[in-house]
Amino acid sequence: MEDQLSEKLRKQIKKAVDILSKGGVIAFPTDTVYGLGTGIYNQSGIKRIFDIKKRSTGVALPVLLSDVAQLSEVSMTLSAQSWRLIKEFMPGGLTLIVYRSQMVSDLITAGGDTVAVRIPDHPVPRALIKGIGMPIVGTSANISGKPTLISAEDVRRELGNAVDMVIDAEPPPNGKESTVVDMASDIPVVLREGAISRAQIARVIELG
């Protein structure tokens, strides 16, 4: 998918990768909603995201990956049921709560022992992740408690100059947040039903 990027978009991504590599924070389209991100090892950038969103540091942040191979970087050994969901729905609108690896900081997990992970089905975030060589924090690009946003114009209007760059690119987000499934429980639980229905999940694994 990344091979089909326009020259204009490639230039935006190159600029964004440079900003991220220097510890910056950018907003970008995903397959679900607009995201707000920085490299997962950039502590100052992660702190900025909490400030930009006016979000409590007691609330964990999700992590976006470019591919399945990066799961081993951020998570512990995954269950067979987790792998069934990964095979069926990733990349796509599925977020899994799994036990974190030691590479994921307490700032991202709010001190917990789990992390939310997703592989977006969109060329922009995957190109950014590959460009900086690490997963990125990928929370929604909006003030906490306000509606999620699906256009660069709306992100600029709400966040203003708080972010270092807003990528404006096709395809636009579909507006449906990802479905969140807690795989760290004894029995998997759907915490938020979004782009993928609970029924679709239940056809692949047994739910609590």
Q: How confident is the model at residue 4 (pLDDT cuts 50, 70, 90)?
A: low
**Structural domains of the chain ordered from first start:** 2-202 (3.90.870.10)
Q: Beta strands of 12-153 (E only): which ranges?
A: 26-29, 34-39, 63-64, 94-99, 114-118, 136-140
Assess whether pLDDT exceeds 80 at residue 192. Answer: yes
Q: Across residues 43-51, what is the average pLDDT?
A: 97
pTM of the model: 0.95
Q: Residue 75 carries which DSSP code?
A: B
Q: How confident is the model at residue 28 (pLDDT cuts 50, 70, 90)?
A: very high
Q: Residue 141 carries which DSSP code?
A: S
Q: What is the pLDDT of residue 148?
A: 94
Taking alpha carbons only, the member of 110, 73, 79 closest to residue 96 is: 79
Assess whether pLDDT exceeds 90 at residue 72. Answer: yes
For residue 188 the two structure tokens come to 């998997």
β-pairing verdict for 94-99 and 114-118: antiparallel
Render pLDDT for 105-156 as a digit per residue (tens, 0 to 9).
999 999 999 999 999 999 999 999 999 999 999 999 999 999 999 999 999 9
